[in-house]
Amino acid sequence: MSLAAEVRDLTYKFPHSDKASLCNIEIEIPWNTRTLIIGSNGAGKSTLLKLLSGKHLCLTGKIRVNGLDPFSPHSMHQNEADECQITTYLGTEWCHMSIIHRDIGVLELLESIGFHAHRERGETLIDILDVDVNWRMHRLSDGQKRRVQLTMGLLKPWRLLLLDEVTVDLDVRARSRLLSFLEQETKARRCSIVYATHIFDGLAEWPDRVVHLRDGRIVQQLSYAEEVRFSREDSSVVEHNDNSVTIGYAKSLHPLALTWLSQDETSKK
């Protein structure tokens, strides 16, 4: 199977809505890739990720994930011979679920979703995300809750990971370590990631494809290997006639924040 996901001529309208939220979407997600979706509020990023995850039924066009229709019951269960989940969708709404605000321990939560069966991955994630298994959920900050969500959500290996703005409240250090972990995953085993975000700090080197979504339509897709170059000359973006882009340097506080937070960690030891 050559593609992690494939979308053909997809147009999607929410029930009772007059306007389509996605129009004529064509996209191919090869295996071992990291795709970044860029678009303004309301552009259709979440809708696309949710369709790929099988959360909405789509009656027009074709969607395949790992060769299967994500809405079909076969896609919900992992293949017995394959210990990976087909898709994992992680979005911001998790933090509004009632269980998260209860007086429940993190270890108890992790064990309830099969921590013992994925102990090695779980321990790596706990370490990367700096999670304390003795935390009680109702006493955590939003960022700490997010770390628990990610530990739980990433515990089982997936084939296609759909990240919907889920790293916004992580501090820069946790986000940077998580992005490195995810990059390694896509290099080490047959899986791919589609990530929608408005925060681009620390992401310049991370994706290998970027997709620009505007008003429900894909207006541009760039492959890093062939169509993206970085320039140290100035800070402008130059779009060339052959569809390639040269991106100038960006002034960013990200390296300073990363250095300070790493120093904070060292001073704790």
Ligand X SMILES: Nc1ncnc2c1ncn2[C@@H]1O[C@H](COP(=O)(O)OP(=O)(O)OP(=O)(O)O)[C@@H](O)[C@H]1O
Query: What string marks each residue from 87 to 126 as x (binds ligand X by CB under 6 A) or -?
Result: ----------------------------------------
Can you say whether residue 240 is alpha, beta or left, with left for phi > 0 and alpha for psi between -120 and 50 degrees? beta
Cα 171 from Cα 269, distance rounded (Å): 19
Q: Please tell me the distance from the alpha carbon of residue 72 to that of residue 246, in angstroms, as a whole number.
A: 41
CB 159 to ligand X: min, Å: 22
Angle of CA points 222, 65, 124, to nearest 5°: 85
The least CB distance from residue 170 to ligand X, in Å, is: 17
Question: Among 4, 7, 10, 21, which residue sits at the site for ligand X (rule: CB under 6 A)?
Answer: 21
Which of 256, 266, 220 shows the shortest CA–CA distance to 39?
Answer: 220
Segment lying near ligand X (by CB under 6 A), choices 34-42, 103-111, 143-151, 187-195: 34-42
Q: What is the CA radius of gyration of the chain?
A: 19
Q: Does 39 bind ligand X (CB under 6 A)?
A: yes
> Between residues 43 and 182, which has the closer beta carbon with respect to ligand X?
43
Instruction: Please say which residue, 14 or 230, places its beta carbon nearer to ligand X.
Output: 14
Under the binding rule (CB under 6 A), the answer on residue 51 touching ligand X is: no
Establish if 175 lies at the interface with ligand X (CB under 6 A).
no
Q: Is 35 exposed, middle or buried (0-12, 13-18, 19+ CB in 10 A)?
A: buried
Per-residue buried b or exposed e for 112-129, using 16+ beta carbons within 10 Å of the residue's own CB:
eeebeebeebbeebbebb
Are the beta carbons of 210 and 35 closer than 8 angstroms?
A: yes
Cβ closest to ligand X, residue 41 vs residue 267: 41
Contact status: 43 vs ligand X (CB under 6 A): yes
Of these, 2, 18, 41, 268, which contacts ligand X (CB under 6 A)?
Answer: 41
Q: Is 64 helix (H, G, I), strand (E, B) or coil?
A: strand
User: Of residues 4, 29, 35, 44, which one binds ligand X by CB under 6 A?
Assistant: 44
Does position 7 bind ligand X by CB under 6 A? Answer: no
Cross-sheet strand order for the sheet of 245-247 = 228-230, 245-247, 237-239
Which residue of 25, 27, 45, 86 would you call a contact of ligand X, by CB under 6 A? 45
The count of chain residues that interact with ligand X, using the rule CB under 6 A, is 11
Q: Which residues bind ligand X (CB under 6 A)?
A: 14, 17, 21, 39, 41-47
